[in-house]
Amino acid sequence: MRGTRLVLAGFSGGPDSAVLLHALAEALRGAEVPLPRVLALHVDHRARPDSADDTAACARFAAALSLPFLALRADPARVLRDGLASEGRLRDERYRLFRQAARDTGATAVFLAHHRDDQVESVVLAALRGAGLRGLRGMPARRPLDDAAAGPRSPG
């Protein structure tokens, strides 16, 4: 990460991403060497009526950690089908917005938080899609953001 000036941290407001954001803020506070700036990045999927409340709570959390915050709004036309949003479409839109934000801000990395159950879910969904032995794998620990579109997907 040498030469990196800005990284984005995906922040849903859930426990995984809250721990990630807190850890990054603590690392910045205790750093004895220059570290990149961290921007908390939240995607409002607008898939629920109270999603704006989630965005406001995320902004408060980031402010409490003294981290800058950016909220992006998903395009409902990209995620809703017959009034319903699938996890796959939500994820695709989120990653599209992460790529856009990285380009727009000049960020060189996007940090995301996942836990063991997310990995298991990726493998199970791949099996249900008939991915075969080569496709039965969880998420890699690190990958280029442009490869995110080729990552694990759920049907529909």
Query: pLDDT by residue (tens digit) across 37-79?
Result: 999 999 998 878 899 999 999 999 999 999 999 999 988 877 7
- Give residues with Cβ within 8 angstroms of 60, minimum separation 6: none
Buried b (16+ CB within 10 A) or exposed e, 115-151: eeeeeebbbebbeeeeeeeeeeebbeeeeebeebeee
Reported pTM:
0.71
83-92, 101-110, 129-138, 145-154: least confident range: 145-154
CATH superfamily, with its number, for domain 6-113: HUPs (3.40.50.620)
What is the side-by-side order of every strand in the sheet holding 69-73? 69-73, 37-44, 6-10, 109-111
Which tens digits make up the pLDDT trace of 115-132? Answer: 544 444 444 454 555 666
| Residue range(s) of every CATH 3.40.50.620 domain in the chain | 6-113
Residue 136 has pLDDT above 70, yes or no: no
Greater confidence (92 vs 21) lies with 21
Q: What percent of the chain has pLDDT over 70?
A: 68
